Amino acid sequence: MKSKLFDNFTFKNGVTVKNRIIKSAMSEALGNLHYEPTEGLFRLYEKWADGGTGTLITGNVMIDRKALGEPRNVVADHDSILPFLEKWAEHGSKNNTQLWMQLNHPGKQAFKSAVKEAVAPSAIPFEGKIGRFFHHPREIEKEEIVEVIKRFGYSASLAKKAGFTGVQIHGAHGYLISQFLSPRHNQRKDEWGGDVKGRMKFLVEIYREIRIQTSEDFLISVKLNSADFMKAGFTEEESIYVSKELEEEGIDLLEISGGTYESSPMSKAQQKNSTRIREAYFMDYAEKLSKAVHVPVCVTGGFRSRNGMENALDSNAMDFVGLARPLAIYPDLPILIEKQVMNEIKLDQRKTGIKKIDDLGMLEITWYGQQLRRLAKGKITKPNYPVILSFLQSLAKNGKEILQKQRSNS
């Protein structure tokens, strides 16, 4: 019997995706010094396209070179990048694969090494030890808000011209849109703040601008937090409210995630028995969301078996399975699953056993980033590569910079 994982799916605009597997965004950091995608990035996406994934969502593509999330981001803010984007689209859309560009602005969640200054809805810095990695932000002006909205639209238009089949607006994980949505970070008194209707205005206007600068048949997704998992942050109730409004606007897909740099829900979710059984971190929320909206939903995070993915789809709480780290190790995982060569994905937690190093919280990200770079060079991955060697290799190459927090999932 054919698995639902490999059923196609047709969006309301008539675009059909060949299966229900989505590669969620990961931080590749494979742009060059001119913020352009490189041959390694083309090679990486061709590998994933050949591996059978139905939809590939890129890692962060920034809308403004003055607002980088981290070094070596790709930036789509000028038409001079079009030839590079066209080549990326050519490689990433092979094998009848959907290719969506994730668009983002970091707001205050941009490393000091990447930007000269940072803006945010309100001039509120990060709390705790994490704050030392970031600038104290200034409050973004109204005129700048309008400019940022236009930039999102322009970057999306470049993606469409280049041959990408859609874009994803990054509204999660504590970046600028997520900051606007959060009452903890957005304490404005104008039309861009206040209650959830005011705080979501920035996201809605970005969606509208992208739709204006692209077309009705161009797919637009939003990555949205189920919650921030922080006191006085964005809540599940607000997330569902925003999702309803996005449905009214005509959004094509919602990808559910959660947390920010300041608070990751993953470790807490892993401890829950329901998560261990059902695998996915955000299934409980997805079930609530499915009763409130009829937008196609993708849940990303935690899936480690064919049965887990199929059961999640059979629950009707979601339409797509999002995978990140498994595809960093097994780029042809969809083919392996379909042929029943691999029904379980074993990904051990990456630890050295040295508490001071493990407590830094960056080993997993460094390790998976090195696997992505192997694929980008045309090499095979090393699933059993020792974590301590990965750490020493990165330390030798980057020095103390690796002690900064980085992203494993965009």
Q: What is the pLDDT of residues 162-206, one digit of tens each?
A: 999 999 999 999 999 999 999 999 999 999 999 999 999 999 999
Q: Are strands 9-10 and 16-17 parallel, antiparallel or unpaired?
A: antiparallel
pLDDT digits (tens, 9 = 90+) for 264-305: 554 444 445 544 555 778 999 999 999 999 999 999 988 999
Distance (Å, whole) CA 258 – CA 268: 12
Please count the other Cβ atoms lying within 10 Å of the Cβ belonging to residue 406: 19
Distance (Å, whole) CA 325 – CA 313: 20
pLDDT digits (tens, 9 = 90+) for 52-101: 999 999 999 999 999 999 889 999 999 999 999 999 999 999 999 999 99
Query: Is the pLDDT confidence value at 244 over 50?
Result: yes
- Average pLDDT for 14-19: 97
C-alpha 25: how far from chain center: 4
Distance (Å, whole) CA 383 – CA 374: 11
Query: Is the pLDDT confidence value at 318 over 90?
Result: yes
Could you tell me the two tokens for 43?
A: 């090679």
User: Residue 264: its pLDDT value, please?
Assistant: 57
Q: Is the dihedral of CA 206, 209, 214, 220 positive or negative?
A: positive
- Average pLDDT for 41-50: 98
pTM: 0.93
CB 221 within 8 A of CB 168: yes
Q: What is the largest CA-CA distance in the chain?
A: 57
Could you confirm whether domain 4-348 is CATH 3.40.50.800?
A: no
